[in-house]
Amino acid sequence: MKKLEKDLITKYTVFQAVDGTEFPQKEECEKYEASALGVLRGKIKKLIACEPKDAWTLMGGYDDHQVIAIKPQIEADVDTILQWYYLEHPYILENHRKSEKENFEEVITEAWKNDDVVLFGINYEKEYYFINSRKNIINNLNSL
């Protein structure tokens, strides 16, 4: 008789939420993300500095989009904004978008440090997208 040692490799599918938490069922993962997103959207709502403005009237954007200004008041607000945006747009965490992610983080941090606001658009499907900080927009316009 011989004693043998063998490795057993088992593959199985899990669904990973944007924060790395894994779930065996897709539905569980979707519920978790929806819940986390709900919590973060509630926190973001408290940071909105104005009522949504029509994008066309405000900046010449699409007439069926709106713009909101989010004002990070304390350092924890920066983290809340980042968590919220990454949950809304998990693709920004992909390796090939590293510079986009770093730019976004820098704009949010600088807005907090400079008592500025960050503008986000809301499209007709109620999806949020990053525009820029008010200061950066003004600087870009002044450089024309």
pLDDT score recorded for residue 54: 83
pLDDT score for 117? 98
Higher pLDDT, 4 or 105: 105
pLDDT digits (tens, 9 = 90+) for 74-110: 999 999 999 999 999 999 999 999 999 999 999 999 9
pLDDT per residue over 20-42, tens digit each? 788 899 999 888 888 888 788 88
- Residue 101 CB partners (closer than 8 Å, separation 6+): 92, 93
Domain boundaries, the chain: 47-142
Average pLDDT, the chain: 91
CA distance 110 to 136: 10
- Residue 77's closest CA among 103, 106, 109, 50? 109
Q: Inform me whether the pLDDT recorded for 129 exceeds 90.
A: yes
pLDDT in tens, 107-122: 999 999 999 999 999 9
Partners of 23 in beta bridges: 15
